[in-house]
Structure 1
Amino acid sequence: MLKAVIFDDEYIVLQGLQKMINWSHYGIELVGTATNGMEALALFEGSKPDIVFTDIRMPGMDGLQVVEKILTTAPGTICIVFSGFNEFEYVKKAIKLGVADYLEKPITIPIIEDAIKRIIEKINLQKSISSIQSRWEDSRVELMEKATLDLLLLGEEAIPKWRDIFGSEAEHVICVTVLSQSRGGFALQNHSSYKAVRVRNGTEHLHVVFHFNDELEDFWEQLFLRPEQMGLAVGSGRTYKRLADVKKSYKEALQALRYGQFMNEAGWTRFEDIGENPQISIDLSEREEAVIFNMRTGDKKGLLKELDFFIQQLEGQCCNPDVMEREILKIIYLAMEVAKEAREDVVKINGNDFLPNVDIRSLNTKEEMYSWFRIQMEKIMDWSLIVRQQLKHGAVEKACKYMKENYFQDLTLQEVSEYVGMNSTYFSLLFKDEMEQSYIKYLTQIRMEQAKKLLQEGHKVGEVSEKVGYHSYRHFSELFKKHVGVNPGKYRDSY
């Protein structure tokens, strides 16, 4: 029910309007009256009515001053003023303020009832327009989400439809990045330099970020701390200039999220921070990606479970021995490629040459083929686990020494992993296993300790940021405050 108030210094007017109008008939509750401007404002503040009837002339503060204050704080309020015959200048001012209607005195019941009917019609029209706008906006959001999801899944062929729905801003998109998050709740705020579209694909929570310029600092800044503060894991793919490459960023974002979650890293994990193996195609099936993941994380139990799923899938889909042989060899060679991320001599297992494409030819039945497949995969995994233990301590120790000596440079995971002679993804997992923290957190820790020393010596914050490897002053300040508890300027002043 709508709420209304009446402000007038004439007792007869107030009594007549209260008693002689059937307010509830119009869906209105009369919640109070006032006889002067100060009382009127106090009543308005206390009752927050939808409709205000007020005389222009009142003691203390006139009706127009009251209306001006009301519409300043609550512009959606419908205000109707009562005016005398000789108050045309007041009426003009009332219209300028935005009153909904003005009624000439003397006020009669039919005049008020006609005014109420016009008000109700206006309110209903506004509601109808708001409802249409809301439905249109919801429909537009749904269309945008659908077009963006098609872009992720289909790539090039979905671009024309996406452009139509994205509108004129599509012409200004110069690059695109995909984010994947562990659950909903994190909403990337839009900015003049980019537009983020939230998308769901099954259980996947995604943001597709369309950049309007190549200044990405404002975008990355939202990922530095917010997800971690929310206890949320977010993975980001690389930023691509070609819109059709959004499919690549999408797969990379999913990989980054998966590895970030495995390493128990709340916060932001970049694909660049887990690395890639150029020998392995990015166009892999979900099952193939699961095999790689279990190989890299040293999860033998998980690997064997995936092999059982793979065999069941193979059994249900084909009975052609050549096709089965090809699919099995594909998984074996994939596992060998992952094993070689630690050391190249995987082709020799137990001291013997490993030639799966030759050995598989000697098998006659699919049962023999499945059994042989499991045995070979276990051998590769066992070899990988042994090498992992042999190399882990020495490789990580070497990497830590290198990071301590070069922390001030733009030190990438790729550079450090190449220094120790490993694939970057494998190295990042090995580092986490040995140090119980990720490579990037360890490097940040080194940098923060060095920053504290430099600030204690009196160096300027901007200089310190550069000296410890951060080109973005704002990024450095945010990280320092997170690790130390105060911003770098305050920390320096305290010494």
Structure 2
Amino acid sequence: MDTYTVLLVDDEEDVIQVIMKKINWEGLGFSVIGYANNGVKALEMVEEFQPDVVMTDINMPYMDGMELAGHIKADYPGTKLLLFTGFDEFEYAKEAVHLEVEEYILKPVNSIELTNVFTQLKIKLDQEISEKRNAEILKKYYLESLPLLQANFYTTLIEGHIHEEELEKYLSDYQISLSGPFFCCLVIHTSSSQVPKDINPLLLSASVEKQAKEYLGEKWRAKCFSYLGKTVLLAQLEKENEISELTDECDRFCRYVHRIIGANVTVGIGQVCNHILDLSKSYSSARDAISYRVLYGTSRAINIQEVAPSEKNNPGSSHETELSHLFKMIRLKEEPEIIEAVHAYLHSISFKEKSLQQHHLDVMELLSEFCRFAANNDIVLDELSKDMGELYGKISDMEQDMLEQWIVNISVALHEKLLSERNTSRKSFVEKAKDYVHNNYVNEELSLDSICEALGVSNSYFSTVFKKETGKSFIGYLTDYRMDRASRLLLETNEKSYIIGKKVGYTDPNYFSYVFKRRFGVSPSKYRTEYKESEK
């Protein structure tokens, strides 16, 4: 039996305590993950825990229940909402039909009525989960996926085999609308090693595809299909800078399907293009983005333009697979995997079966690709900065063992330089964010959205990097910085608390006092008084 999580929200703690004690939550199939005494705190907890049900009062400080419900429905549409209200608020609440509230409960809360509400809600949640997990429904959907002609067109398109003169006829004959004006390819990787018990991995992938189509399809006018064991979406954007919003939505989708059906999903987001035929390049870069899950983790969205903005497509060559694999290992893996990739590349060029002239061409090609990789990633390597003619003459005369060691040394050096550049880039990125906070903390509107817009990155990528480098969430860092500034102003000036609150970005003096007390354990006025008394 599934157990569902509940978040309780009311500014009267005694009401919450009564609800928690009078209801047999475990017996009903629910567990209370916590409670909040205002809408702002509740929204933070919803973001962190993503509960199945939020039961909230309407009349609360800082953010009322109606505003909270609106935020939840916009960002977490799968969460069920229950509103409990006073009699005089009941009709007002009933008017908010667009919030799709499951039930309106009048105060004072009756334990029998509440038990009945959660009993019915459990049945509804079970039915929804059952529909998503039912193997027969998934199997039917898998067999009845997109029409074959459309699927063949999409796969041929991302393979790069559609010609300009054929495009309009294909779109017309297969009734496909790709109006753009911008396009982006998404590749969804569903882990086959982390699968819920009694679920077939193939059917799980089909379920993820179905959820992706429902969650992302309409808003982004996305074409969804299966290709090489992965789900692929061709998303359409009105503006090029919508890519940050798309990245954040994909990030929420990853967490959503993990919670609903237990799938461990990573979404790779390719480069944005303005021509349909360039979707093949977007697809290739989306697959590269998936590879970065070894660095950034799974169950998240990875935008190739954020994690590898300066890296170009892998070089083509007569040994394209092995050479591409070598550069992929340089970017993503450690020394043992790099050495293995060098062995594979050297085996592919088969020295004993080729002429000396072909051997020299292979060496020249490899040297050229090393130099191109270094240039594309702004890497300066002493060994590759020498006179090219001299360097080519040196390595073309090397015996196989010496050449192999030279390639290993260059590959490992490139890997270490790339890793160092990434770390430097991340730290610089975080320092810019800190500077932005220091210069704009007075602005009450400063938020995660606004700083990401200023830096030109998605919320999900920014949050991951910022927390990894600082150990804090952005909101946590901003709040701490504001509180540190406020504490200094309290001790160094005689200004009133509400004035100081405004100076650090809080126009509501009550909320400023609430946040300050949560940080320092006392109100602003008491903080100042205690300090002055300690100075005597």
Q: Structure 2-normalised TM-score?
A: 0.46
Task: Select the structure of larger CA radius of gyration.
Answer: 1
Q: Structure 1-normalised TM-score?
A: 0.50
